[in-house]
Structure 1
Amino acid sequence: MSEFLDQCRAAIGAANVLTDPADMAGYLTDWRRRFTGRAQGVLRPASTDEVARLVKLSNAHRVPIVPQGGNTGLVLGSVPDASGDAVVLSLARMNVVRHVDTINNTMTVEAGCILETIQNKAAEAGRLFPLSLAAEGSCTIGGNLATNAGGTAVLRYGNTRELCLGLEVVTPQGEVWNGLRGLRKDNTGYDLRDLYIGAEGTLGIITAAVIKLFPQPKASLTALTAMPTPDHALRLLALAQQECGPALTGFELMSDFCLQLVARHFPQMRLPFPQAYPQYVLLELSDSESEEHANGMLESLIGSALEEELIVDAVVASSIAQSRGLWNLREHIPLAQAEEGKNIKHDVSVPISRIGDYIRETDALLQQHFPGIRMVTFGHLGDGNLHYNVSPPEGVSPDEFISRQEDINQVVHDSVHRFGGSISAEHGLGALKRDEIRRYKSEVELQLMRSLKQALDPLNLMNPGKVI
């Protein structure tokens, strides 16, 4: 294999082919530090042409490639397996914003661009790129596209798929498909763009994209509301959609235990209510008219919700700092759970109307099978996506708890299936859920996926062992 790596060095420069274990370490371990794979090397191309050359070399030598962006994924999709056969292809050096078109409301970006950088570039141009994730300071747009990432603004703007108009992709044969079209209408055959988005690098390597921009809102307001049950939150969602329409941008559900964890591990973050309530919803309005108009909508919504007894209390942010403080409570939940210790994460979706029933019934099932477990339930209620996480009972050792992960997963995922949902809402399948999905997808659907993989990547060199 030294011949392969020597040819890679000739193609992209020796400094960009990492083989020293210390240099490779950060590329081989997943974000949660639960798994470390092995690789022949890490390749760091700086252009689409260099990616294509490397892929052609991988074909000639039959070397698998694991594409990687910011390596912030949670399902082992962007790290190699333990065999040591593959190379990691990092797109981090491909981080150029190629073009901003404020008339067409588009931006052309390379796959290695950090999401936060894109947000800032859009703001400099007086526009908004609405994709927002907890990892936005380190995740890349290529990874967002490869996993069809969601985030907190899906309710209004949709997943990453809805925010992309065109792609540039290096195929498994090392050819370049230039589909960087800034068109909102293009009915000229199969939609190849949607085929690659969400494919987790198993069908080709996304190297650039044309993404949608939007006008900056004139006002953005945040409120935290408290209520007895998730069912009350669903009724609040219906009311907010009725009264605020498309101005409703975010609608995040959080249980009391979530905020207890944040307060325990980040005591500098003060909870805004003098007493605890069972459930909370963090909602955000983005208004294109004026701050006065936005305030009127929010005041009307809070008033109606109190009158209809959908909520029992509310705090409205009166400044950007206060709004940031409320969002920080939500964004620190995963960090607080990590500080609490090992936990079992689930990224699921169910029809929005059934979320209350799902939480109630699945909580009861889990307590029946695993008494004392503590549920850390939060997520994007407005689009049906729950982060339905399980922490061990007090006094149970982390290793003993993690040994029950497969049993816990089956209870949670079987329940998701009964409710007509999905076991992966926005994180993807990767290697973590690759086998699990077989229990819930039909053989027809799985065979269609296998046929696509075989047709596009017959040598199985693109991120093998992931998704299917």
Structure 2
Amino acid sequence: MNKAERIRFLDALRALLGASHVLSEAHDLAPYATDWRKRYHGKPMAVAMPGDTAQVAEVVQLCATHRVPIVPQGGNTGLVGGATTDASGTELLLSLRRMNRIRDLSTADGVLVAEAGCVLAAVQQAADGAGMLFPLSLAAEGSATVGGVLSTNAGGTAVLRYGNARSLCLGLEVVTPQGQIWNGLSALRKDNTGYDLRDLFIGAEGTLGLITAASLQLFARPAARRTAMALVAHAQDAVDLLQQARGALGAGLTGFELMSAHSLQLVQRHFPRLRLPLELSSPWCVLLELSDNEGEAHAQARLEAVLGLAMEQGRVVDAAVAQTLAQAQAMWALREHIPLAQAQEGLNIKHDIAVPISRMAAFVESTAELVTQALPGARLVVFGHLGDGNLHYNVQAPLGGDAADFLARHQDACNRIVHDAAAACGGSFSAEHGVGQLKLDDLLRYKSPVAVAMMRAIKAALDPQGLMNPGKVLRP
């Protein structure tokens, strides 16, 4: 696109959306041009901010006519560079933040319809205001948007009980790469009428079309919640405690997080106001959450019974049960501040792996040995959702070392060690963060050629011009 064509395109874009909703000056583009981890620095041609689905469709049609690539962005909280343009200045960044309305909420159907730019915390609040629960919860819920969490099929802390974003979505509204609007919003739990188009777009990271709204499943709000922290000596003890808690608590067990002592020590160092309820006398800590339909006393008794038995059996070293909502929130704050503490500590090598729970302890022990042998002095910051087999197996530079140099010299080798180990256990190199730009090579390495060929066929069929979030998930 030459300069004259670019001017005509931007003029047409301003005519569609209004000049105030098309950003093209460098200082206006800056907040949208860099990803959350500050790893990728793009250069958008412009930022377009449509206010409704019809405007999204018109923008896509305009881009298709001028062959302008589109990179969708919600809250820009992704961790793999999936919502950042390249540096060519030829891609349009399409921000969905203005599309932030709750369109409908039906307690009878247990469904809430939210637009793609609606922040996750706003969905939770709307459900709570209606006496119901939307259970998807993650550290970035104050800025992550519905479209973003669906496009990456985000997980969060309650997957054990409620499933990931895909499980919580009943239907979608999508603008296709041709600028057509597919109204697949549904309140139905059963609809066996051909291909499941919804599932094509969930987890596709905007490479097949633009999610503009979603029908989200709501649940009855539990009568009580109880949260506890427990210290364990070995990763296998945590796995055994998970099975024991599942057997005793059933579907009431809504959260089960594993955190290394080192990860919590980082939180203490950088956020000293967050106090640990237990002295870190063991290398591992577990965070449990129970949702109960009877009441506070019943929930307390059930959780204490599980932990008491586990302590008698020597599976748990020590434990603390939150007595108030404030204490429970403080426990969760420790878990949620681990990524922030890592960022304060310096650059680090992040991994978002999934491994069968039955092989988790073996993975943790063997991979720790492999990484520390290859990278002497490296600090392992291991935490995540043990209940669904998803760990953030992160590697921090040696204490006092040059973090940027460590990252530049060792990231590829470290990734290979961790991802090979996960694959050997029947696991995945990406559990909930997606592929984006960061893991393009990993997808080709670990996905079967048959799977990659089918993905390419779907991409070519739906987006023959290759304009939807190019360079993400699949290499061109």
Equivalent residue, structure 2, for 1:116: 121
The separation in 2 between residues aligned to 1:166 and 1:298, in whole angstroms, is: 36
Partner of 2:253: 248
For residues 19-38 of structure 1, the aligned pairs below 5 Å read: 19-38=24-43
Query: What is the Cα deviation at residue 289 of structure 1?
Result: 1.9
Is 1:289 aligned with 2:294?
A: yes
Q: Which residue of 2 aligns with 1:354?
A: 359
User: Is residue 170 from structure 1 mapped to residue 175 from structure 2 by the alignment?
Assistant: yes
CA distance in 1, matches of 2:117, 2:279: 44
Instruction: Output the amino acid matched with 1:453.
Output: K
Runs of at least 5 residues in structure 1 that lack an aligned partner in the other structure: none
> 2:437: which partner in 1?
431
C-alpha separation between the residues in 2 aligned to 1:363 and 1:203?
38
Matches within 5 A, 1:61-460: 61-403=66-408, 404-460=410-466
Q: For residues 282 and 218 of structure 2, what CA distance do their matches in structure 1 show?
A: 38
Tell whether the 8 Å contact from 2:44 to 2:91 is kept in structure 1 after alignment.
yes
Deviations 1:257-293 (A, max 9, x none): 0111011111111222234211000000001122222
CA distance in structure 1 between the partners assigned to 2:54 and 2:187 by the alignment: 22
Does residue 1:59 correspond to 2:64, yes or no? yes
Letter in 2 for 1:282: L
Q: CA deviation at 1:394?
A: 2.0
Among 463, 466, 469, which residue is 1:463 paired with? 469
Alpha-carbon shift at residue 460 of structure 1 (Å): 0.3
Distance, in Å, in 2 between the alignment partners of 1:275 and 1:401 is 28
- Larger mean CA deviation between 328-337 and 287-296 belongs to 287-296
Q: Kindly indicate whether the alpha-carbon contact (under 8 Å) linking 2:231 and 2:280 is maintained by their aligned counterparts in 1.
A: no
Q: TM-score, normalised by structure 2?
A: 0.97
**CA distance in 2: counterparts of 1:274 and 1:102, whole angstroms:** 44
Supply the RMSD in Å over aligned alpha carbons.
0.7
- Listed one character per residue, the Cα deviations across residues 281-312 of structure 1 (whole Å, up to 9, x for unaligned) are 00000011222221121121111111111101
State the 1:34 CA deviation. 1.8
Q: Secondary structure at the match of 2:194?
A: coil
| SS, match of residue 61 in structure 2 | helix
Q: How many residues matched? A: 468
Q: Report the Cα distance in structure 1 between the residues aligned to 2:265 and 2:297, rounded to whole angstroms.
A: 34
Report how far residue 426 of structure 1 moved: 0.2
- The corresponding residue for 2:3 is none
Deviations 1:159-212 (A, max 9, x none): 000000000000000000000111000000000001100000000000000000
Which one-letter code corresponds to 1:196 in the other structure? Answer: F
User: Is the CA contact (8 Å cut-off) linking 2:377 and 2:398 kept in structure 1?
Assistant: yes
- State the shift of 1:143 in Å: 0.3
Judge conservation of contact 2:174–2:210 (CA < 8 Å) in 1: yes
Measured against aligned partners, the alpha-carbon deviations of 1:414-447 in whole angstroms (never above 9, x if no partner) come to: 1111111000000000011012211111111100
- Quote the Cα distance in structure 2 between the aligned partners of 1:130 and 1:269: 24
Partner Cα distance (2:366, 2:94) in 1: 43
Identical-residue share of aligned pairs (%): 57
Letter of the 2:472 counterpart:
K
SS in 2 for 1:436: helix
Report how far residue 399 of structure 1 moved.
Answer: 2.4
Partner secondary structure for residue 435 of structure 1: helix
1 CA distance for matches of 2:470 and 2:330? 42
Q: Which runs of 4+ in 1 moved over 3 A?
A: none
Compared CA separation, residues 292 and 19, structure 1 to 2 (3 A): same
Q: Distance in 2 between matches of 1:316 and 1:453?
A: 49
Match of 1:41 in 2: 46
CA displacement, residues 357-397 of structure 1 (integer Å, 9 cap, x when unaligned): 00101110011111110000000000000000000112321
Secondary structure class of the residue paired with 2:204:
coil
Q: After superposition, what is the alpha-carbon deviation per residue over 1:437-459, rounded to whole angstroms, capped at 9, x for unaligned?
A: 11111111100000000000000
TM-score between both structures, scaled by the size of structure 1: 0.99
